[in-house]
Chain A
Amino acid sequence: MNERKIRVLLAKPGLDGHDRGIKAVARGLRDAGMEVIYQGLRLTPEQIASAAIQEDVDVVGMDCLSGAHMVLFPRVVELLREKGGGDKLVVVGGIIPRKDFPKLNAVGITGIFGPGTPLDEITNFVKTRVGEKSEDKKS
């Protein structure tokens, strides 16, 4: 049986328009064989969570360089749980100060990728974690 491709939703919550990073990640994940949906800019947490459910993705990736991440990222996670998508892997990038990592980890965001992260590190993280999640489901 063919293995299902990993499906990824990438989105920019809030008003930040810096999209060089997320576009590079989109290409990187696609080159690594994943199916990537780039939802675009200027999205509310509600729009991102709904799209993640509708598109039935395995991974939600968000990026924020404006400093609004501590309000926006946890809100998306919360909404995903409410809508029954709490099992999706959430990864984030942007300008995220180290002191915010524990709080993001606490809501279940473990993949945090700051400036200078090689693309391979992100793709490997996603592949490994999605693999683990589907193993969990089987057992």
Chain B
Amino acid sequence: MKAFLRKYWRVITSPSRYYSLGFLTLGGFTMGIIFWGGFNTAMEFTNTETFCVSCHENIYDELQQTIHFTNRSGVRAICSSCHVPHDWTDKIARKMQASKEVWAWVTGSISTPEKFEARRLALAQHEWARLKANDSLECRNCHEFSYMDFTRQSPRAVNMHSTALASGDKTCIDCHKGIAHRLPDMSDVHGF
């Protein structure tokens, strides 16, 4: 084993015998682009609606009844708009967490609507906690507070947004729960 490692260490550290420096640098550069592009393309594919819905069908039905799916202006949110951070490093962190969810899918821990209903509160709480911790970043990627026109909001919305939200006392998810999915049993949740 030690001899094996030493042999490879020698190959890596010794200068190239047959390939030119130009070939190695240009080749490395090209392969780097292909690898990096391929990696990001594959990762972006896991951010598409088609990919998400291939497993999460039931929840997609719920989304379709909400304003985040169909509305007057045709701007819409897909799963990853809200559930995956847009920033690259945070996205990688979330994708790594999601690998555990792949395991859950393989073992069928939520394989029926009944199992899903039983865990709906716990699952929702994960997302609420995540959004609370990052100050509802995924909401704010579209709904940016600095560009909100209070004169175009209802009096009730102005009241809340100009006080609790403006002061940073509350964040979007504190009030806007269940805006894209059905709510779980909320009897023990603050604010209900």
Q: A and B: partners?
A: no
